[in-house]
Amino acid sequence: MGARHALHFLNRTPRAELVAAFTPEPSEVAWAKIHLEPSGVTIYTDYDEMLRHPGLEAVVVATVTTVHAEQAIKAIQANKHVLCEKPLSTSVEVSQSVVDASKTKPHLKVMCGFSRRFDASYRDAFDRMDSGAIGRPSVFRSQTCDKLDPSGFFVEYAQFSGGIFVDCNIHDIDLALWYFGQDSIVKSVVAMGITAVQPELRKYKDVDNGVGIVEFWGGKLAYFYSSRMMAAGQHDMTEIIGTEGKLSINANPIGTLVEMSEPSGIRREIPPHYYGRFEQAFVTEANEFTAACLDDLKLPFKLTGAVQAVKIGCALQESLNSGKEIYFDETGRRLEKAAL
């Protein structure tokens, strides 16, 4: 992920200049010396030293999840704008500490990298929903399904990732909060899962296929599915079902990826040119973050939403392992003590 961000800021973000990169991993240093150093990028193996790079104004945190919060807070304290990969942390309290740090430097732009919010098709679907095209949005169904990795990488990664709902479904949870409204309050969560291809995940209390259901106060329901065993390749998709229609994004991966179900039937729109939507979302994110920093523009969404997403993801992971449904009151306060 760090390499992807580095190349986007180096080659596809005209208003930004990539001046430094950090990694403690020798193999990544070797990659950076080939792909970044010839363009004048200084490579660091010490994060604190990189923060002191002359003229550095902003930092992209795309390291392992366990150090996201620590590195984001250090950058904020060093007076740098921050784009931090999701999630801020696998802990609600640690995630909140990033928000608290950002409040001490209100002039800085601090954003969590939920890339699907920058995808043209997801934005198109949101605009249609927001205009009333499908009536009142009531049911949200979304999935993040990764291609099967036979190497077993995700087994060992599970001890740090926070679990499948925090690691994979965090994007879907964020989308639900976007489409239903950032102020949506959870009423209950329940989750279940199986280890279909990687039974070793059980030692870390994780699964390779998980289903979570979140009920929101106000009569809204979200269904999340995550998988690490898609043989044909990654497939992320979303549906928003309203009282007068339905919007689907990437249900059938063609065209704009938006499919509109109306009383008159299903309508698909395919543009003449559509290429590399996933990469383009990251490029759009990089350019909009850069513009916000340089032009003092408002960020497209609040950092507090990243804490909300982690809170829901952690509750789903707890339900997965306890086998119990978890309830919240109308203020969002849990009705029983957390027991991870």
Which one, of 256, 247, 237, 257, lies nearest residue 142 by Cα?
237
Homologous superfamily, domain 117-274+304-339: Dihydrodipicolinate Reductase; domain 2 (3.30.360.10)
The residues facing 1 across adjacent strands are none
Is the predicted pLDDT of residue 242 greater than 90, yes or no?
yes
pLDDT tens-digit map of 299-318: 999 999 999 999 999 999 99
Give this prediction's pTM.
Answer: 0.90
- The amino acid present at 91, given as its one-letter code, is S
CATH 3.40.50.300 fits domain 2-113: no
pLDDT tens-digit map of 77-134: 999 999 999 999 999 999 999 999 999 999 999 999 999 999 999 999 999 999 999 9
> What are the helix (H) ranges across 185-303?
277-295
pLDDT-derived band at 271, boundaries 50, 70, 90: very low
- The amino acid present at 249, given as its one-letter code, is I
> Which residues in the chain belong to E strands, given as ranges?
20-22, 42-44, 58-61, 81-85, 110-113, 137-147, 186-194, 209-216, 220-230, 235-242, 245-249, 258-262, 265-268, 326-327
Which one, of 312, 321, 277, lies nearest residue 118 by Cα?
277
In Å, how far are 33, 62, 119, 277, 293 from 334, measured between CA atoms?
49, 32, 33, 38, 37
- Copy the structure tokens of residue 9: 């800021």
For the chain, the domains span: 2-113, 117-274+304-339
